[in-house]
Amino acid sequence: MTLTVIGHLCKDILHLPSDGGEEQPPVECYGGILYAVLTLANLMNGKDVVQPVFGVGWSDYDPVIDLLKQYKNVDPSGIFRVKGQTNQVHIFYEQNRNNRIECSKGIAPPIGYNRIKPFLDADGVLINMISGSDITLETLDYLRMEVRERRVPIHFDFHALTLGIDQDFKRFPRPLTDWRRWCFMLHGVQMSETEAHGLSAEHYDETTLINHLMPLMVDALMITRGSKGLTLVTQDIHKKLTYHDIPGISYGATVDPTGCGDVFGAAYLYQYMKSKDSLLAATAANRAAAYKATFSGLAGLDDLSSRIASEPEAQS
Spatial neighbors of 115 by CB under 8 A, at least 6 apart, are 53, 78, 80
Residue 198 domain flag = yes
Distance of CA 187 to CAs 104, 216, 220, 262, 277, Å?
29, 10, 6, 17, 12
What pLDDT was estimated at residue 22?
A: 61
User: Looking at this protein, which amino acid is placed at residue 259?
Assistant: G
CA distance 292 to 286: 10
What pLDDT was estimated at residue 272?
A: 98
State how many domains the chain has. Answer: 1
Burial class for 151, CB neighbours closer than 10 Å (0-12, 13-18, 19+): exposed
Residue 103 domain flag = no
What pLDDT was estimated at residue 2?
A: 98
Which residue range forms the structural domain that includes residue 154? 2-8+33-84+108-306
Residue 13 domain flag = no
pTM for the model stands at: 0.92
Residue 124 domain flag = yes
Residue 131 domain flag = yes
Q: Which residue has the higher pLDDT, 92 or 80?
A: 80
Closest to 282 in 3D by CA, of 200, 240, 223: 223
Across 252-279, b (16+ Cβ under 10 Å) vs e yields eebbbbbbbbbbbbbbbbbbbbbeeebe
Distance of CA 67 to CAs 62, 130, 168, 301, Å?
9, 20, 32, 13
What pLDDT was estimated at residue 62?
A: 96
What pLDDT was estimated at residue 96?
A: 58
Residue 92 domain flag = no
**What is the residue-averaged pLDDT of the chain?**
92
Question: Tell me: the pLDDT tens digits for 89-146?
Answer: 888 877 656 677 888 877 889 999 999 999 999 999 999 999 999 999 999 999 999 9
Q: What is the DSSP letter of 55?
A: E
Distance of CA 130 to CAs 6, 134, 211, 238, Å?
9, 7, 26, 34
Residue 270 domain flag = yes
**Is a pLDDT exceeding 60 seen at residue 203?**
yes
What pLDDT was estimated at residue 263?
A: 98
For residue 37, the domain's CATH number is: 3.40.1190.20
Residue 39 domain flag = yes
Question: Tell me: the pLDDT tens digits for 248-285?
Answer: 999 999 988 889 999 999 999 999 999 999 999 999 99
